[in-house]
Amino acid sequence: MGLKTCGGGDGKIEKWKNSSPVISRSKMKIWMVRATTTVLLWTCVVQLTALGELWGPRVLKGWPSCFTPPSSVSSTTSTSNSNPLLAVKLSSVPAKLPLPPKRVYKNNGYLMVSANGGLNQMRAAICDMVTIARYLNVTLIVPELDKTSFWADPSEFQDIFDVDHFISSLRDEVRILKELPPRLKRRVEQGMFYSMPPISWSNISYYLEQILPLIKKYKIVHLNKTDARLANNGLPLEIQKLRCRVNYNALRFTTQIEDLGRRVIRILRQNGQFLVLHLRYEMDMLAFSGCTQGCNDKEVEELTRMRYAYPWWKEKEINSDLKRTEGLCPLTPEETALTLRALEIDPNIQIYIAAGEIYGGERRMESLAASYPNLVRKETLLRQSDLRFFQNHSSQMAALDYLVSMESDIFVPTYDGNMAKVVEGHRRFLGFKKTVLLDRKHLVFLIDQYNNGVLDWNEFSSSVKVVHSKRMGNPTRRVVISDRPKEEDFFYANPEECLQLPDSM
């Protein structure tokens, strides 16, 4: 029986051997058809996601597209209101996508940049430098972050931003390297490169006509100051859209920062709605602005000494009262409390303070805490061990505040600094989320009238509400002042080319 079974088996093996070429050819044809179909479909998907003007919907990219229709934005907003945890996931955890195809171009040279200032000042500058590198057809080296500013933060780019995502997500626009190739690195070490600060608020033609010839001549150009080096207005549409793409898609924070940010948001959401107050009342802010409203003589003297101690700060003698009446000072904690009450912000709402250490400590926060007892900070919501790796890294701490600010129900900055502007623009991009843009010049006038008894509470509150009725982050056109670029609206505060604006505007 055993031999017969073996004999039958041998017959089957022999038959399989005789027919195997036919079967193999048939299987090969099927495999080739499947493989070809898969490659074609995959190529179509990659090409569609790589198109500059079709960046993909929010669920694919993590941030909404510049071309998300208003209905999509509103449906996303309603979803986030009904399910806060889902909102956190949608806005903070982008889905994995296939890499876009590399853009092939003749490389004109290498661009090194050193960003200056705080986190959001550097963030806007990085967006500009990527865009400039793209239109000069050069290779960009991952930007160097400022380590010599007042905050002396030693963080590298990869300590704050997901560097691999930054490089890969932009590969269809520009080639970005973590460092120069070894041969060129040696040239830099020997000082064989050209370094300069570009002219502020320049059009792209300046870079094509002035900077590109230098790159072609020296092969390596280092731009050593990068804030506000690209104009707000008068740029081609594709340049403005690329600035948005870098800002809202490519510049993703590290996993460690994102995870901790989500934890803070989750804790806040468990207790209901929350307002983020960007209270710019830190010691350095007051010293350099010269704004000393509410400070005692000893504090005024301390702030003045600090301003004179930094030679790079040119403005030394400052009239604090004059600056305040012109609306050039941040609101004090006392003024902020009056303003929030006048706007009828719910006294029981959680207020997350996005700021450094408040000058004057608890004494200066008394009136705000009395009006709004649910004041919280990241330091009070998290354990000390959670923030251990972020201590003495102001940009990483600011990144946490940035994430929480993006998800808040209301965002209120008391001064129009870089964070206030960049967060304002990002919240517009996410569907015009409520952002109270305080008119400080009007406010201090009304506050002084109220404190002097000229206005009663109802008159004061009514006037504050009227002044701010159209300053809630609504769709609006960017103010253009062609001969005074510093005074016009900042592109990143209102990137209107990337937003869905009503046709009637």
End-to-end CA, the chain: 92
Across 242-301, the runs of DSSP E, i.e. the strands, are 274-278
Across 225-319, the runs of DSSP E, i.e. the strands, are 274-278
Please check whether residue 73 is in contact with residue 431, taking contact to mean a CB–CB distance below 8 angstroms. Answer: yes
Residues 268-277 have a mean pLDDT of 97
CB atoms within 10 A of CB 452: 8
Q: What angle do CA 3, 7, 8 make, to 5 degrees?
A: 120
Burial readout 44-57 (b: 16 or more C-beta within 10 A, e: otherwise): eeeeebbeeeebbe
Q: Is 369 helix (H, G, I), strand (E, B) or coil?
A: helix
> pLDDT by residue (tens digit) across 225-245?
999 999 999 999 999 999 999
The domains located in the chain, with CATH, are 110-249 (3.40.50.11340), 255-498 (no CATH)
Percentage, residues of the chain above pLDDT 70: 80
Across 434-504, the runs of DSSP E, i.e. the strands, are none
Give the containing element (helix H, strand E) for 298. Answer: helix 297-309
pLDDT beyond 80 at 394: yes
Q: Is 174 helix (H, G, I), strand (E, B) or coil?
A: coil
Could you tell me the two tokens for 468? 């701010």
The three-state DSSP-derived secondary structure of 119-152 is: HHHHHHHHHHHHHHHHHHCCEEECCECCCCCCCC
Across 139-238, the runs of DSSP E, i.e. the strands, are 139-141, 176-177, 194-196, 220-223
Q: Rounded distance, CA 21 to CA 113, Å?
A: 61
> pLDDT by residue (tens digit) across 169-226?
999 999 999 999 999 999 999 999 999 999 999 999 999 999 999 999 999 999 999 9
> pLDDT by residue (tens digit) across 273-292?
999 999 999 999 999 999 99
Which positions ≥6 away from 289 have C-beta within 8 Å? 318, 323, 328, 329, 330
Q: What is the pTM of this model?
A: 0.81
Min mean pLDDT across 59-68, 101-110, 436-445 is at 59-68
Q: Which amino acid is at 356?
A: G
